[in-house]
Amino acid sequence: MNWYAIGAIYRFEMARTFRTLTQSIVSPVISTSLYFVVFGAAIGSRMGDIDGISYGAFIIPGLIMLSLLNESISNSAFGIYMPKWSGTIYELLSAPVSSMEVVMGYVGAAASKSVLLGLLILATARLFVPYSIAHPFWMLCFLLLTAVTFSLFGFIIGLWADNFQKLQVVPLMVVTPLTFLGGAFYSINMLPPLWQKIALFNPVVYLISGFRWSFYGVADVNVGISVIAILGFLALCLGAVWWIFRTGWKLKT
Q: Where are the domains of the chain?
A: 3-247
User: What is the reported pLDDT for 134?
Assistant: 93
Cα(96)–Cα(188) distance, rounded to whole angstroms? 49
| Strand ranges in 89-128 using DSSP code E only, listed in sequence order | none
The torsion of the CA quartet 169, 151, 33, 63, rounded to 10 degrees, works out to 80
Are the C-beta atoms of residues 64 and 31 closer than 8 Å to each other? no
Q: Which of 45, 221, 243 is nearest to 159 (CA)?
A: 243
DSSP β-bridge partners for residue 53: 50
Are the C-beta atoms of residues 5 and 95 closer than 8 Å to each other? yes
Establish how many alpha carbons lie within 13 A of residue 39's alpha carbon, considering only the half-sphere containing its beta carbon: 18
Using the 8-state DSSP alphabet, how is residue 253 labeled? -
User: What is the reported pLDDT for 133?
Assistant: 93
User: What is the reported pLDDT for 135?
Assistant: 94
User: What is the reported pLDDT for 139?
Assistant: 94
User: What is the reported pLDDT for 211?
Assistant: 95
Are the C-beta atoms of residues 196 and 189 closer than 8 Å to each other? yes
Taking phi over 0 as left and psi of -120 to 50 as alpha, with beta for the rest, 98 belongs to: beta
Alpha helices in 161-253 (DSSP H): 164-170, 176-180, 193-199, 203-216, 223-247
Cα(229)–Cα(111) distance, rounded to whole angstroms? 19
Are the C-beta atoms of residues 68 and 175 closer than 8 Å to each other? no
Q: Which residues of the chain have pLDDT under 70?
A: 21, 40-46, 252-253
Q: Is 59 helix (H, G, I), strand (E, B) or coil?
A: coil
Q: In angstroms, what CA-CA distances link 65 with 60, 75, 208, 209, 240? A: 9, 15, 7, 10, 23
Output the pTM of the full model.
Answer: 0.89
User: What is the reported pLDDT for 205?
Assistant: 92
Using the Cα atoms of residue 210, residue 226, residue 149 and residue 32 in order, give the sign of their dihedral: negative
Please report how the helices 203-216 and 223-247 are oriented relative to each other, as an axis angle in degrees rounded to 10.
130
